[in-house]
Amino acid sequence: MARTLLDKVWEAHTVRTLPSGQTQLLIGLHLIHEVTTPQAFQMLKDLKLKVRMPERTFGTLDHIIPTTDQSRPYADPMAEDMAAHMYRNMKEFNLPLFDMSSGKQGIVHVIGPELGLSQPGMTIACGDSHTSTHGAVGAIAFGIGTTQVRDILATQCLSMAKPKLRQVRVEGALAKGVYAKDVILAIIGTLGVKGGVGYAYEYAGDTIDRMTMEERLTLCNMSIEGGARFGYVNPDATTIEYLRGRPYAPAGAAFDRAAAWWKSVATEPGAAFDDVKHLDGGAIEPVVTWGINPGMSVGVSDKIPAPEDQPEAERPTFREALAHMGFAAGQPIKGAKIDVAFVGSCTNGRLSDLRAAAEVAKKGKVASHVRALIVPGSQQVAKAAEAEGLHEIFQAAGFQWRRAGCSMCLGMNDDKLQGREMSASSSNRNFIGRQGSPTGRTLLMSPAMVAAAAITGAVADVREILK
């Protein structure tokens, strides 16, 4: 019987079936960062256990670090304490840490693929929900909690249930000004923020086939926003060429042998799925969220929907969203005034994202009332962008050029919204309070759309600017 990538990778990593009926699943790559690990290391020490496979764990600093002055000690004593714990734990357990001095530091979901650590056929886990990102290379990659981080450190395994598998097929050429971010927002808008609960998503179809690896990373990144704990794209020639020459990818003849195995883990023709959903890629226009979860979105030329048009159970959330955002049903999203523009995050902090934003930034200056931040996803992204002069384009247009980190995606450092500020953001979550202010407001969109909003001072249609 034809098998899926999920079937093959799951089986290869199954240690045994536990008495509970769950699978004891081996984790091939464990990525860790400073925020969700100190308690796990403490639990490990309390249990007097060692790290079972230290060669399979890699760490970085991303969530809490400043994006201005990154020299230590950090100005925020809690951030400094957290970083100090990370350094101490990594040293004590002899684990590699990609810190600022390594030149390889960055958001964990940017550096994993960038360094070639994340490879097809692996199981990858990290104490961060956006671990789904790594599915883009054809891996089973998912977020976990801190106690599960302890389990991986101690046993290299997790107790897991295999999810159902849904194939999400996107077909058709994307229009100019429409990006992978718009595709995933359209998928979530169609299937809902809880549509994926209990499922993994396999993304397929010719739209996905044509996507670059960076686009696929954006796509898989937001699987979790659709309720799916992980999503993946089958490894193909794009995957293999992306990995070639990366520091942690095999080299020489070993690379060719690896590539053969990577291709062999892809879903076979005729394999069965628990269900299949179809989207018309050609019909997607630039998407903007208007509400308080990533499923509350419209095309940029659309109007904000009315609660009365929703199923009854959804109406209270819609009313709450309109009240929080200060929007009225029927209002066009285009023209909504913004205060802050943020390009960055594990969703859209890669070189191609910065290029797309820079192309728009060239067309104008940041509106006088807008604070605009460009935060590269990693030191290597920053370096590559600077080599192309992107930072100069941004700075000339009035954007701030920052150092790598999670930054205003979740506001754990000084990069926060103030009061009810409205943010045009290339990040992944528009939850109430997400960007650091309990009353702050977030409009999710592609990096090009963020740049368009920054220079317009309000939500704008990037297609009109790129014309």
Work out whether 412 is an interface residue with other proteins (CB under 8 A).
yes
Query: Of the candidates 436, 444, 458, 465, which one interacts with other proteins according to CB under 8 A?
Result: 436
Give the neighbor-by-neighbor strand order of the sheet with 441-444.
400-401, 371-374, 340-343, 422-425, 441-444
Site for other proteins in 123-162 (CB under 8 A): 127-129, 131, 142-148, 150-151, 154-159, 161
> Which residues have C-beta within 8 Å of that of residue 45, sequence separation ≥ 6?
none
Question: What gap in Å lies between CA 24 and CA 4, rounded to an integer?
Answer: 20
Q: Report, in Å, the least distance between residue 228 CB and other proteins.
A: 8
Site for other proteins in 174-233 (CB under 8 A): 193-194, 197-198, 224-225, 227, 229
Q: Report, in Å, the least distance between residue 269 CB and other proteins.
A: 23
Q: Which is nearer to other proteins, 76 or 268 (CB)?
A: 76
Q: Which is nearer to other proteins, 175 or 255 (CB)?
A: 255
Work out whether 314 is an interface residue with other proteins (CB under 8 A).
yes
Stretch that binds other proteins, among 107-115, 213-221, 249-257, 369-377 (CB under 8 A): 249-257
Q: Report, in Å, the least distance between residue 237 CB and other proteins.
A: 18
Stretch that binds other proteins, among 41-49, 183-191, 364-372, 457-465 (CB under 8 A): 41-49
Question: What gap in Å lies between CA 292 and CA 431, rounded to an integer?
Answer: 5
Q: Report, in Å, the least distance between residue 456 CB and other proteins.
A: 28
Site for other proteins in 256-275 (CB under 8 A): 257-258, 261
Strands 140-143 and 157-160, sheet pairing: unpaired
Stretch that binds other proteins, among 98-106, 313-321, 335-343, 383-391 (CB under 8 A): 313-321
Query: Of the candidates 66, 116, 121, 281, which one interacts with other proteins according to CB under 8 A?
Result: 121
Give the neighbor-by-neighbor strand order of the sheet with 157-160.
14-17, 23-26, 157-160
Stretch that binds other proteins, among 182-190, 300-308, 394-402, 430-438 (CB under 8 A): 430-438
Question: DSSP class of residue 37?
Answer: S
CB distance 458 to 368 below 8 Å: no
Site for other proteins in 97-116 (CB under 8 A): none
Strand (E) or helix (H) holding 365: none
Q: Which is nearer to other proteins, 250 or 305 (CB)?
A: 250
Q: Report, in Å, the least distance between residue 311 CB and other proteins.
A: 10
* Interface with other proteins: number of residues (CB under 8 A): 86
Q: Which is nearer to other proteins, 23 or 238 (CB)?
A: 23
Helical spans, DSSP H, in 223-378:
237-243, 253-264, 315-325, 345-348, 351-361
Query: Of the candidates 4, 105, 119, 239, which one interacts with other proteins according to CB under 8 A?
Result: 119
Question: DSSP class of residue 329?
Answer: T
Q: Tell me the DSSP string of 228-253.
A: -SEEEE---HHHHHHHTT-TTS--TH
Q: Report, in Å, the least distance between residue 366 CB and other proteins.
A: 26
Q: Report, in Å, the least distance between residue 120 CB and other proteins.
A: 9
Query: Of the candidates 102, 236, 411, 420, which one interacts with other proteins according to CB under 8 A?
Result: 411
Q: Report, in Å, the least distance between residue 163 CB and other proteins.
A: 8
Helical spans, DSSP H, in 326-461:
345-348, 351-361, 379-387, 390-397, 447-456
Q: Report, in Å, the least distance between residue 117 CB and other proteins.
A: 10
Site for other proteins in 345-384 (CB under 8 A): none
Query: Of the candidates 3, 85, 362, 363, which one interacts with other proteins according to CB under 8 A?
Result: 85
Work out whether 75 is an interface residue with other proteins (CB under 8 A).
no
Site for other proteins in 1-30 (CB under 8 A): 12-16, 18-22, 24, 26, 28
Question: What gap in Å lies between CA 464 and CA 201, rounded to an integer?
Answer: 33
> Which residues have C-beta within 8 Å of that of residue 199, sequence separation ≥ 6?
163, 164, 165, 166, 227, 228, 274
Question: What gap in Å lies between CA 142 and CA 433, rounded to an integer?
Answer: 24
Query: Of the candidates 2, 78, 328, 387, which one interacts with other proteins according to CB under 8 A?
Result: 78
Distances (CA, A) of 420 to 6, 25, 440, 445: 43, 44, 4, 19
Question: What gap in Å lies between CA 442 and CA 297, rounded to an integer?
Answer: 12
CB distance 427 to 348 below 8 Å: yes
